Amino acid sequence: MSQSSILLTRIDNRLIHGQVGVTWVNHLGANLVVVANDKVSEDEVQQNLMDMVLPDTIQSRYFSLQKTADIIHKASPRQKIFLVVKDVHDALTLKEGGVPIDHLNIGNMHYEEGKSQISSTVSVNEKDIESFKRLGELKVKLDLRRVPNEKGQNILDLI
């Protein structure tokens, strides 16, 4: 697989929803959305609900993190992949597992107890910050932006 088969990797704890399934897919010209998440890879109900958001012309795959790392290199050049993960830790696991992620879009990380809100859609805790810094050390461009036409920010400038 050439690195260009992965058009973009996005952190969005909602995984596939309207913004991902329509706005980002159309902007990128993706024809395949790969969700890399251990829980969702085994939850057909959640997969079916997410598939309802995608246009009929867009395929989806739901893989565990390990399976994603094992098979992403076998993708056909015809597959224009939009890779979606639930959190920064999954992104780091994939990167350290050999998945060619050079650009990471941080779209949505919900607020919860113990997290600090750094933008309208992203909240982080110390463990998240450590993972983002590690990704930065691995030369991954870290771009916080909700939608394609929004001006992005390097998340390392905000944490």
Residue range 53-71, pLDDT digits in tens: 999 999 999 999 999 999 9
CA angle 115, 93, 51 (to 5 degrees): 80
Of 17, 27, 73, 103, which one is the catalytic site residue?
Answer: 17
Please confirm, yes or no, whether 17 is among the known catalytic residues.
yes
DSSP state of 10: E
Q: Are 108 and 13 in contact (CB under 8 A)?
A: yes
All structural domains of the chain with their residue ranges:
3-157
CATH architecture of 3-157: 3-Layer(aba) Sandwich (3.40)
Of 119, 122, 142, the C-alpha closest to 131 is 142
Put residue 18 in one of left, alpha, beta given phi > 0 → left and psi -120 to 50 → alpha: alpha
Q: What is the pLDDT along the chain (159 residues), one digit of tens a residue?
A: 344 589 999 999 999 998 888 899 999 999 999 999 999 999 999 999 999 999 999 999 999 999 999 999 999 989 999 999 999 999 999 999 999 999 999 999 999 999 999 999 999 999 999 999 999 999 999 999 999 999 999 999 988
C-alpha to C-alpha distance for 91 and 35, rounded to whole angstroms = 11
